[in-house]
Amino acid sequence: MLNQLTISELRTRLTKRAASSRELVQACLDQIKRVDPKVHAFLSVDEQDALAQAEIADRAIAAGLPQPLLGIPIAVKDVLAVKGHSLQCGSKILDKFVSPYDATVIARLRKAGAIVFGRLNMDEFAMGSSTENSAFGHTRNPWDLERVPGGSSGGSSAAVAADECIASLGSDTGGSIRQPAALCGVVGVKPTYGRVSRYGLVAFASSLDQIGPFAKDVRDAAILTRVIAGHDSLDSTSIPEPVPDYAIQLTGDIKGLRLGLPKEYFIGGMDKEVAAAVQTAVKHLESLGAVTQEISLPHTDYAVATYYIIATAEASANLARFDGIRYGMRVEGADPNELYMKTRGAGFGAEVKRRIILGTYVLSSGYYDAYYLRAQKVRTLIRADFLKAFEQVDAIVTPTSPTPAFKAGEKSDDPLQMYLSDIFTISCNLAGISGISVPCGFTSSPKLPIGLQLLGKPFGEGTLFRIAHAYEQSTNWHKERPEWTTKPS
């Protein structure tokens, strides 16, 4: 089935005319019809629009155009603006919102020939680790429908794992790409802060947010990252740094590369099977010629607290724009203040309200120095830990998540427990460095994916792809699929 293949495999078939983009898009749409009533990765799919794009792509293929994603269907998290399409961020407050322009990453996908389709479910405003916070229903983990797919980009990871699309885009503020990629058994990339333009990404925490890809293998992730990365004058935080051709760095050779194992990440509380799988993966990387050494990231234990001050503070400012005046839902009031209070009270879900309130508190008069300023200073220490470590090693190896996918409802009433599930992914955003999660095994019963996280220097994506690719190509974890999703209907 075409929908099970990778970008590289499909590009060969499309170029040879062994398959058409229309057939490929139809295969994805058929798979969505078959599995999505159970998985609920998609909030909506505009079939006619996707098929129309495919016909244009097929004409371009016939004309011999060489774009890297020509004819490939890529689905998009509901946090990115796609002109003329709905954008709700999983929230009622953006009721009936239609994007007036394309995000820069969407424009770049289109320029590369991709079929941009579908709105993928997410935790409301990307706040969550389980995709249970969507106002439009939970997404399920294709490996076990009683479990969460991770979050906040749970729709993006579940759709790739269930072969409903070839690849997808998500956003990562504290692990929202890497953690769901790990829990669903796919590859997920958090590029360096500033590597990918945030223009057209609805802001959650502007100093932490990055857009990145979900893919079925590392090569596809590298191809997609190259397409979406690069300077953009529409985002003043995007960095004018050239984008290398990551795919040519996938040599399979990692001999002599130095990998750091942070001792603070390999301590108690971790699921035993996750710990064992990661240790086996480390041995495997050593057998491929990588040199490992223990390192220390001494401020690791403060990362979650730092993150939940900085991220909520920035969110409270960013989400002030949802006031019922210019777009989205409005609940009328006798005066503007009453209108704001009622609109925001009715429009936001519980987790978004909690975080805005927390963020407002840590920025409020009398508490700013004690919370926000202190957290920004601890952020300096966390970043310094990483920069110091990268003087000794080329990349850092950790588990992506301390546990495999947990059951829906298990943590939804305990925000602090939910926050602690991001313990291994959060520091990467605070430090502004690059990260990737690749499949590295499964738990035995039930069979649930486990993810290996690699963290790299700022703009060190190429090294991460090289290591992850060498690992992946000598294992077969990334080829596994939830059995029920692969059976023909």
Partner 1 sequence: MPTPRSDFDVKYVANLARIQLTREEERKFSEQLKHVLGYIEKLRELDVSNVEPTAHAIPLVNVVRKDDVRPSMPHEDALRNAPSKANGLFLVPKIVE
Active site residue 152: yes
Active site residue 287: no
Which of 4, 8, 44, 376 is in the footprint of partner 1 by CB under 8 A? Answer: 376
| Binding track, positions 458-487, relative to partner 1; x by CB under 8 A | x-----------------------------
> Under the criterion CB under 8 A, does residue 211 sit at the interface with partner 1?
no
CB of 354 to partner 1, least distance (A): 6
Q: Which of these segments, 110-118, 146-154, 172-180, 366-374, binds partner 1 (CB under 8 A)?
A: 366-374
> Under the criterion CB under 8 A, does residue 430 sit at the interface with partner 1?
yes
Nearer to partner 1, 27 or 201 (CB): 201
For residues 141-170, which are near partner 1 according to CB under 8 A?
Answer: none
Which of 66, 137, 146, 233 is in the footprint of partner 1 by CB under 8 A? Answer: 233
Which of 263, 301, 479, 484 is in the footprint of partner 1 by CB under 8 A? Answer: 301
State the SS3 of the chain: CHHHCCHHHHHHHHHCCCCCHHHHHHHHHHHHHHHHHHHCCEEECCHHHHHHHHHHHHHHHHCCCCCCCCCCEEEEECCECCCCCECCCCCHHHCCCECCCCCHHHHHHHHCCCEEEEEECCCHHHCCCCCCCCCCCCCCECCECCECCCCCCHHHHHHHHCCCCCEEEEEECCCCCHHHHHHHCCEEEECCCCCECCCCECCCCCCCCEEEEEECCHHHHHHHHHHHECCCCCCCCCCCCCCCCHHHHCCCCCCCCEEEEEHHHCCCCCCHHHHHHHHHHHHHHHHCCCEEEEECCCCHHHHHHHHHHHHHHHHHHHHHHCCCCCCCCCCCCCCHHHHHHHHHHHHCCHHHHHHHHHHHHHHCCCCCHHHHHHHHHHHHHHHHHHHHHCCCCCEEEEECCCCCCCECCCCCCCHHHHHHCCCCCHHHHHHCCEEEEEEEEECCCCCCEEEEEEEECCCCHHHHHHHHHHHHHCCCHHHCCCHHHHCCC
| Binding track, positions 98-137, relative to partner 1; x by CB under 8 A | x-xx------------------------------------
Q: Which of these segments, 121-129, 271-279, 285-293, 413-421, binds partner 1 (CB under 8 A)?
A: 413-421
> Under the criterion CB under 8 A, does residue 295 sit at the interface with partner 1?
no
| Binding track, positions 307-346, relative to partner 1; x by CB under 8 A | -xx------x---x--xxxxxxxx-xxxxxxxxxxx-xxx
Active site residue 77: yes
> Under the criterion CB under 8 A, does residue 267 sit at the interface with partner 1?
no
Tell me which residues are annotated as active site: 77, 152, 176
